[in-house]
Amino acid sequence: MHKGLSEYAGEYSTRWFLNPSSFDKQGGIWIMRAGKKIAKPHFRIPPRMLAYYSLHFVFEGQGTFRFDSESYRLEKGDIFAVFPHHIHSVETSPDAPIQTFWISFGGMQSESLLQQIGLTPFQPFQATRMNESVVKRVEEFEEIVSTRERHSHLSALGIFFLLMAELRKETEDHPHQVVGEVGWLRKAVEFMNTHYLNISVQDVADFLGISRSHFSNTFSQSLSMSPKKYLDSIKMKKAASMLEHADLSISDIALFLTKDIFAFSRAFKNHFGMSPSEYRKNLVSGISQATTQTPLKFGALIINDTFDDQPAGGTPRDYAIFGSEITVEKAPDLIGHALFFSKQDTGSLFAERTFSPVTGRLRLTFRVMVQQTTSPMAIHFINVLNAPVMRISLNHSGTLSYTEASIWTQSRIEYQTDIWHHVEIELDLDTERYSVHFNHVLAVHHARIESSSHPVSKLRIGMQGTGSAYFDDLSLMWMMNEWG
């Protein structure tokens, strides 16, 4: 039963390391390593965080998977995923030691690929998903990675995609995994993002199998824009990207996207506030600087939380709290009016603020202070499809972790305890980039957002680990440009 496995204190296991080349890493997914294990009774992986993604298959036994503040019962046929920078742990049942196979991978499409099979940071577990076809693909994958041949990474990647395709079929065969309108809205957005050049709103409704009026009304209510406007916005963002290439004429771009040069110029100016030629003049290093070279006016104040009116010891008004054992309240009088987080376990704690969906440019500013640096401070923007748009984390090591597309990277910052720090995040959904200033020093410059620029509708702040922290003077502004 333990053939090919090495014995360790809590398990019998083996693992295989792959070495993706620079060519491999230009793709959206690359395989890092894989392995299998048979737990001994009372085996336990203590709480920890990973810097990569991993997908796990339960072949035998029972156990418990803990992810952030949630617990999931594991049994034969289940799958679960671990996402970067989330605390998780696994333990086996003494009476039925768990047996698993796992695959670790990275790449900017990793989180989107897991979403395709129904796994997200908010739902990292799926029960009874391993049919015969899935098991066969896992066995084929193991055979490839265990050979250690020169080209095993490319072969393993091919089998991995076939495995994910089988799991995708399982997802489609389990409609309860994708609930109601959110499910077909996601399909609509994916379809429009892929076929925007050659489709109409009616084509999208036909693809979904629903009436055009129902589709348009629901889409508009959920995403705060009509399907026609969404299709136009995709074309305009593509146009802006193409304008970065000096060898493409504006006429060529217009005819490629709209077949009408005058209609294209008019639509582009309506979307960006300037003509295509003016936009191209403002390009610097491939990124439009127009928004920073033009006077700004604020379109609307979305959130203005000073926490001055919070009752003593009360949870913050307008915030939904979720996570592990927590204290969330207005700060003690020693600090003054501020939102106070305190936590003694290693799970995650978040306060989430929902607001009306918005597009365009957003600027979030706030102050943060920690009393001990054992807890990363997390700040996320979430879109209307409940997917992360950008995530940053102020880490105890004196670094700021942030997502570049879906890849986590780091920036050094001066981060001290018991003093207030000023954080400013500027998010531009039109160019799909964001920047972060920490204590008025640029820490993140034009990082790419994680998902396509659907309207943003949630702000999530919190902490991951033990300790305490204060947030104050939190302000979220929607901005627009003042053109001439």
Question: How far is residue 7's CA from residue 446's CA, in Å, rounded to a whole number?
Answer: 48
* Secondary structure class of 46 (helix, strand, coil): strand
The SS3 of residue 97 is coil
Residue with the two structure tokens 């959130």? 303
Q: With contact defined as beta carbons under 8 Å apart, do 357 and 339 qualify?
A: no
Q: Beta strands 125-126 and 399-404: pairing type?
A: unpaired
The angle that helices 180-195 and 212-223 make with each other, rounded to 10 degrees, is 100
Would you say 338 and 366 are in contact if contact means Cβ atoms under 8 Å apart? no
Q: Where are the beta strands (DSSP E) in 151-270?
A: none
Give every CB contact of residue 161 below 8 A, 6+ residues apart in sequence.
29
Task: Please answer whether residues 375 and 465 qualify as being in contact, where contact means their C-beta atoms are separated by less than 8 angstroms.
Answer: yes
Low-confidence ranges of the chain (pLDDT < 70): 1-2, 148-151, 170-183, 223-224, 282-300, 309-315, 324-336, 345, 372-375, 453, 480-484
State residue 59's pLDDT score: 97
How open is the CA angle 6-10-12, to the nearest 5 degrees? 25
Using DSSP, state whether 43 is helix, strand or coil: coil
Query: What residues have CB less than 8 Å from 312, skipping those under 6 apart?
Result: 329, 330
The tokens describing 109, both together, are 């499409």
CB under 8 Å to 125, separation ≥6 — which residues?
65, 67, 72, 74, 78, 79, 80, 81, 119
User: Residue 177's pLDDT is what?
Assistant: 45
CA separation (Å) from 35 to 16, 39, 100, 103, 138? 6, 13, 8, 7, 11
Q: Residue 312: what pLDDT?
A: 60
Alpha-carbon distance of 267 to 232, in angstroms, equals 8
**Which amino acid is residue 37, in one-letter code?**
K
The structure tokens 């400013």 sit at: 424
Nearest Cα neighbor of 464 from 402, 373, 384, 385 is 373
| DSSP for residue 108 | T
Beta strands 6-7 and 11-17: pairing type? antiparallel
The backbone region for 386, taken as left when phi is positive above 0, alpha when psi lies in -120 to 50, beta otherwise, is left
Residue 320 β-bridge partners: 352
From the list 53, 62, 66, the residue with the least C-alpha distance to 115 is: 53
Quote the CA–CA distance of 413 and 416 in Å, as a whole number. 9
Three-state SS across 173-207? Answer: CCHHHCCHHHHHHHHHHHHHHHHCCCCCHHHHHHH
Residue 440, CA distances (Å) to 238, 364, 379, 443 in order: 32, 13, 17, 9
Q: What is the pLDDT of residue 414?
A: 77
Tokens in use for 425? 């995040």
Write down all domains in the chain, each with its CATH number in brackets: 6-177 (2.60.120.10), 180-295 (1.10.10.60), 297-481 (2.60.120.560)
List, for residues 22-80, the tens digit of each pLDDT value.
788 778 898 999 999 999 998 888 888 787 899 999 999 999 999 877 889 999 999 99
- Say what angle helices 201-208 and 212-223 make with each other, to 10 degrees: 100
Measure CA 172 to chain center: 22
